[in-house]
Each structure stands twice: as C-alpha cells, then as structure tokens.
Structure 1
Amino acid sequence: MTIKMLCMGATALAMMGSAAMAASTSGTSALDDPAKMSPFFTDAGMKTMKSQKDFKTAWMAMKPDERTAMMKECADAAVKKAHAKFCAMAKKMGG
C-alpha cells in the first residue's frame, strides 16, 4: 500500500510539474499583448509599424525595465522570428 501511494504521489507530481513547465514555455509573449504593442503600430491588427520617429517616441515613453524585458523577449529565437520588424527597430533604438 505504501509503494502504491508513493507511485501515485510521484505520478501526480510529475503531471503537475510538466503542466506548469508547459504553461511557462508556451505562454504568450509581451510582444503579443495588444495593450503594450499598440503604440508601435498604426493599425489595430498590428501589421503596419509606425515611422522610426514615432517608434522612438513610443519606445522612450516606456519604463526602462519594460524596454529591457522586451529586448530579452526579442533575444528568444521564436519570438524574434514572429516579431522580426519590431525587434529590429527596437535594436536600432539602443536595445
């Protein structure tokens, strides 16, 4: 009975742990958040970026820790590929 309980406990722990890890790695990026990204785009669908001047204005209006967080996300290969134009422009801004 004790071994059965230990096995059940280990199985439950493994299932909860793998679900937590999956949620943390497949969670959405801050670069997918319309509220954070709308200042950088001209349209609601976030397809057309603003001019470099307007981008810089929006970039500098952000808190330094928010800019750092976005640059860290741009360092992720999958995120960088999905948001290539944004990441390239952010890098030009000194990120």
Structure 2
Amino acid sequence: MNIKNVCLGAVALSMISGAAFAGALDSPDNMAPFYTDSSMKTMKPKEEFKTTFMSMPKEKQEAMKKECNDAAMSKPYAEFCANVQALGGAN
C-alpha cells in the first residue's frame, strides 16, 4: 500500500510541475517580440532585438542567457542565441 501511495504521489508531482520544465526559449510569449512576423520565422534587426531584449525584466533576460549557454537547449534557437550572445549572454 505504501509503494502505491508513493508512486501516485510521484506521478501527481510530475504532472503538477511539468509546466516548470518548459524554458524561457520555449515560451511564445517570451519569443514573439523578437520576430517581425506571427510565424516567428523572421528575426528583427539587431538594434530592434537589443531594444526589445533590454526592455524585458532582468529575470527573463537571465533565464534566456542561461538557456542560450546550454548547448542542447540553444540548438533549436541558434539565431536567437547568437544575438543574445552578442549582447553579453556568455557571462
């Protein structure tokens, strides 16, 4: 009986915290301001990118920098992360 309760608790906890695994780069709300189109295919010019990035809360900036420093996480966002790195994201 105890093992069953532990397993159910683990499953419930993983379901509740599942949204926490999504990173800053996975959130369309975070990424959309950096693109010129709704399909998020065309990145804004570097000056507009910088203005947008610097206007974000520091917590979001740091989360994006952290994820861009992670090779596995940054791979799908190579162009975006290159711009973040140019803004000092390698710190």
TM-score, with normalisation over the residues of structure 1? 0.74
1:4-19 equivalent positions in 2, closer than 5 A: 8-17=1-10
How many residue pairs match? The answer is 87
Q: Which has the larger radius of gyration?
A: 1
1:29-68 equivalent positions in 2, closer than 5 A: 29-68=23-62
Task: Confirm or deny: 8 A CA contact 2:24 2:60 kept in the other structure.
Answer: no
**Matched letter for residue 23 of structure 1:** G
Q: Deviations over 1:34-82 (max 9, x none)?
A: 2211111111111111111110010111122210111112233332111
**Matched letter for residue 16 of structure 1:** G
CA RMSD in angstroms, aligned pairs only: 2.3
Segments of 5+ residues of structure 2 without an aligned counterpart are none
CA distance in 1, matches of 2:8, 2:68: 30
Secondary structure class of the residue paired with 1:80: helix
Does residue 89 in structure 1 map to residue 88 in structure 2?
A: no
The percentage of counterpart residues that share the same residue type is 41
1:23 alignment counterpart: 18
Bigger Cα displacement from structure 2, 15-24 vs 85-94? 15-24
Describe the shift of the 1:11–1:75 C-alpha distance in structure 2 as closer, same or farther (beyond 3 A): farther
Secondary structure class of the residue paired with 2:75: helix
TM-score, with normalisation over the residues of structure 2? 0.76
Segments of 5+ residues of structure 1 without an aligned counterpart are 1-7
1:80 alignment counterpart: 74
